[in-house]
Structure 1
Amino acid sequence: MPSEHSAAEELDPHTGETGAGPTGLGAALRRHLRLWVAGVVALALVGTIGWMWAASLVPASYSPMQMGLMDAGGGPAVHLGMAHGTVPSGATGSGAGPRTESGVGPRPRDVTSFVEQRRGTPDVRLTLTARREEVSIPGGPTVTAYTLNGTTPGPTIRAAQGQLVEVTLVNESVPGGTTLHWHGIDVPNAEDGVAGVTQDAVTMGRSHTYRFVAERAGTYWYHSHQVSHEQVVKGLLGAVVVTPKAPDAWTGADTALVALSHVYAGKRTINGRAGETRIEAAAGSVVRVRVVNTDNGLMPVWVGGAAFRVLAVDGTEVHEPQEATGRAVLVPAGGRADLGVHVPATGVRVELPGAALVLGPAGAQTPAPTRKPAASVDLLSYGTPVALPFDPERATRHFTYSIGRRPGFVNGRPGVHWTINGTMYPKVPMFVVSEGDVVRVRIANKSGETHPMHLHGHHVVVLSRDGVAATGSPWWTDSLEVSQGQTVEVAFVADNPGIWMDHCHNLPHAKEGLVAHLMYEGVTTPFRLGRHSVNSPE
């Protein structure tokens, strides 16, 4: 049977087209063009990924001032110092960086110059020796922990308001170095304890001395800020209590005690003891229970079977707190809440998930556990208003701290990483202010997870949440939970010069890049980050 094509026009077995003539030649060219285009696209994709990978790499040694995108918050031009140029007026985190402009602005000051000015013999002096050792948790597991003076939590530091405190940290056996950060205490910048920003990590065999005046009465805590996602989890921490000058300055309680919560190997403890802790308290008395959340997540606390008030939040007294029976108090990671608990003759339980503090007269039966209430105290409307010491409506700088998440690289590691204002670490914001500025910050969480936000060296006041204005006692905080989908606006006065971290206190999140900085005009730091340094603040 004769073929439909001549011998010179045999069918291509793959395409069914003839291999000769104009039609066959065009098909071959199209095939080659498709292959060429696919190759170019593949090369472009590989090149783009390679460029993204290379661009994400953090230098082996770098200054924290080199990281990030300078943001002046729409305020006046800010002079960073002769070595670092000027952030123009209105510059934002969109990439507007410093321009060189020598000989203008304030004389640069090193963070090490911001020390406690008060001289003389300290009123409170102690040495804390840090070790890595095996510890048996009462009622809980035996763990490899980081201790201070042989215990975890470390000793509670107590001072009266206005006293000079001096603490010497000795690193006996903590590998990789360590520091002490005074969480919630607005110390001078050199005393902040952030490795690579305000000091070098204290390596084994060395020591470092911190000095500060306990200016504000309240409940605080201290912890490592070197490899903190590991050292804090393993117990390098303790409580700080600053009592008021006048004994009757705090009302609403007859006695006080610390309830520091920490989870060791999945077991929650109160003051280092798992399960229930019984403390004798007179019937009819009111006990101030200083709750401290040292873990990474939001922690509910509630009082079973008795009335209570929230007396203070993050070291600031609540104005005219109301009774809050039948509601939980949600304490963010790093946060503190002082509860005024009424003790009935039958005793009362202050409950946390997996642990409890039992208060009552000697011989009283232990009250039965209760479930966490469905409702919680809303600090946006709790208490009654009182005038603020500044006017947020006259803010000189406005910043946005928008938290997101997207695929990409952080220091060469692929993954789905946190973003701040659309960019990943280390291209995160450096919020630049001048001393005396009134600052407003809009924190928006679009990341899919909740975040406890902590600004070092300052307390902020919450103005609104999701557009609803605060109506209660001024909600001053240093550890603020911002839930997924929420937008919270806060304000503060820039009155503590330095370079300050502004990060998520879910410490693994900070390690993964959820960290920015607040930098004052004319302030520099000599300290370095990166693998060629000893410093790793997250």
Structure 2
Amino acid sequence: MPPGSERRLRRNNRLVIGALAAVAVLVAAGLVWSSSRLPDTYSVMGMGHAEFGGGPADEVHGGHAGHGWDGPPRQRGDRDVSELTGPRDRPADVAVELVAARDGGRYTLNGTTPGPELRVTQGDLVEVTLVNESVPDGVTLHWHGVDVPNAEDGVAGVTQDAVAAGGSHTYRFVAADAGTYWYHSHQVSHAQVRGGLFGVLVVVPRAGVAAGQDVVAAVHTYGGEPTVNGADGLRVDAAPGEPVRLRLVNTDNEVKRVWTAGAPVRVLAVDGRDVHEPDPVTDAAVTLPAGGRVDLGFTTPVDGTTVRVELGGVAVVAGPPGAPDPPVSDPPADTVDLLRYGEPAPLGFDPAAADRVFDYRIGRRFGLVDGVPGMYWTINGSMFPDVPMFVVADGDVVRMRIENSGADNHPMHLHGHHAVVLSRDGVPATGSPWIVDSLDVGRDETYEIAFVADNPGIWLDHCHDLPHAVDGLVAHLVYTGVHTPFRVGAGNEPE
């Protein structure tokens, strides 16, 4: 062998091996990138994997992973989401038209943001016609906290197609449960809700509201400026000694701490459900999760002074006209613990006799979603779209353990159902039944909740810090025998 040839051969071998290794890395990276890509359109029934929570695994969902992006085939006797509607056979008690428009960087409903306050009576058949005048991405209306039939839930690509500009869609549902709720778009929701496409729905009890002032205060941040009902503050004219019910709605993505100076308050309701025997509270804040609602009750002082309710950079002041505003008060150190607040009352079902038990473990890690690298939220160790499909049957008692080991708090919102909080970090609830549809799960916290699966359909179970949902923190609760004809993509982008 000529001098130096052995050295050149070794060098060439190293170059070949290096080139082959680089090709292998590129091929592997390409396969990972390709496998993360989402199809242009897909059924949510084809996403992820089915979990049965110890209940029976039906053949349709048992083969879930093999159905591809179209989801499982329909079986004889199955129902489409579009069949699960509100009443169609009688006139509406309340009929409203809401016209959605885009006005520069904001969205409006009937020319305003927030949209009109809808106030109806318990038991009313409500009919809302949504008209899209000029929202280019399309629009829907989701009735947040109202346990409507599935077809009326307003989730683009799951329960309906988004309403394109120039189109309309009619929602019909019975307002069965009195309470404070809100409505908002569930099409490109992280942008449209932030931009102002929302409003408040109040369902008044059949017996009417108590004497005194009954006031809505919807908190929303526009371009970094906090507002209440779209203004920089709210003044409630109330006579000395007059009772006030203040319905607080958090339409932002962040949790709020709410506190009151000038009078003790009672937490009358949470997420539209009355608190049993609420106690007066002084020197303690109330937590208002993103998407959540809290009704506070207080009486204005008989001496003619005012009550100030701090809402995080904006306030509600209640008192006689002309009375001076009290100064901004410092936040109290204590927070009302709804796990212990109020007195126990019957639930109407036995969580210990659960038919299904699920885990919803929230984490975060680096990965690729639809070919885009980034830090994404995980559910039970998996990233979107490999998220759980929690399968239940009509009538099941369901328990769910929500564990947050992520880097942020998560206001978890289950559509179509209310759940009772059983425990936090292993400590059992001992107060009034704490019934929620929007539960703020803090960092390193674990909650156990329970509910009855009594509203068939396909329901989102997602974080209502809406950018978190965009980054993959969304799962679904699906009833056996229910399918959706709608598809995400092709104009439907729910988050």
The CA distance in 2 between the partners of 1:338 and 1:42, in whole Å, is 62
What secondary structure does 1:51 align onto? helix
1:263-291 residue CA offsets vs partner (Å, 9 max, x unmatched): 111111111111x3222111122211000
* Deviation, structure 1 residue 196: 0.4
- 8 Å contact 1:69–1:96 — kept in the other structure? no
1:138 aligned residue = none
Q: 1:216 to 1:129 in 2, by over 3 A?
A: same
- 8 Å contact 2:131–2:169 — kept in the other structure? yes
What secondary structure does 2:46 align onto? coil
The CA distance in 2 between the partners of 1:379 and 1:359, in whole Å, is 25
The CA distance in 1 between the partners of 2:426 and 2:20, in whole Å, is 49
1:301 aligned residue = 258
| Residue 223 (structure 1) aligned to one of 184, 204, 222 | 184
| Residue 263 (structure 1) aligned to one of 199, 216, 221 | 221
- 8 Å contact 2:151–2:160 — kept in the other structure? yes
1:117-161 residue CA offsets vs partner (Å, 9 max, x unmatched): 363111111100111115xxxxxxxxx311111110000111111
2:322 aligned residue = 363
1:335 aligned residue = 292
**What letter is aligned with 1:472?**
G
The CA distance in 1 between the partners of 2:225 and 2:170, in whole Å, is 33
Q: Which runs of 5+ in 2 are unaligned?
A: none
1:127 aligned residue = 97
1:466 and 2:425 correspond: yes
The CA distance in 1 between the partners of 2:393 and 2:377, in whole Å, is 28
* Deviation, structure 1 residue 96: 9.2
What secondary structure does 1:65 align onto? helix
1:52 and 2:10 correspond: no
| Residue 160 (structure 1) aligned to one of 111, 121, 146 | 121
* Deviation, structure 1 residue 44: 3.3
* Deviation, structure 1 residue 28: 7.0
Q: Which runs of 5+ in 1 are unaligned?
A: 1-7, 10-18, 80-84, 135-143
- 8 Å contact 2:117–2:201 — kept in the other structure? yes
What secondary structure does 2:358 align onto? strand
1:369-417 residue CA offsets vs partner (Å, 9 max, x unmatched): 1112121111111111112111111111111111111111111111111
Q: 1:372 to 1:422 in 2, by over 3 A?
A: same
**What letter is aligned with 1:194?**
V
1:480 aligned residue = 439
> Cα RMSD between the aligned structures?
2.1
- Structural mapping, 1:17-166, within 5 Å: 35=15, 38-78=18-58, 85-87=60-62, 107-117=77-87, 119-134=89-104, 144-166=105-127
- 8 Å contact 1:402–1:443 — kept in the other structure? yes
Paired residues, what number? 489
**What letter is aligned with 2:169?**
H
2:275 aligned residue = 318
2:145 aligned residue = 184
| Residue 194 (structure 1) aligned to one of 140, 155, 162 | 155
1:210 aligned residue = 171
2:456 aligned residue = 497
* Deviation, structure 1 residue 507: 0.8
Q: Taking every aligned residue pair, what percent have the same amino acid on both sides?
A: 58
TM-score, structure 2 length as denominator? 0.94
The farther-off stretch of 206-215 and 254-263 is 254-263
The farther-off stretch of 217-226 and 59-68 is 59-68
What secondary structure does 1:328 align onto? strand
- 8 Å contact 1:116–1:212 — kept in the other structure? yes
* Deviation, structure 1 residue 242: 0.4
**What letter is aligned with 1:297?**
E
**What letter is aligned with 2:212?**
D
The CA distance in 2 between the partners of 1:256 and 1:53, in whole Å, is 54
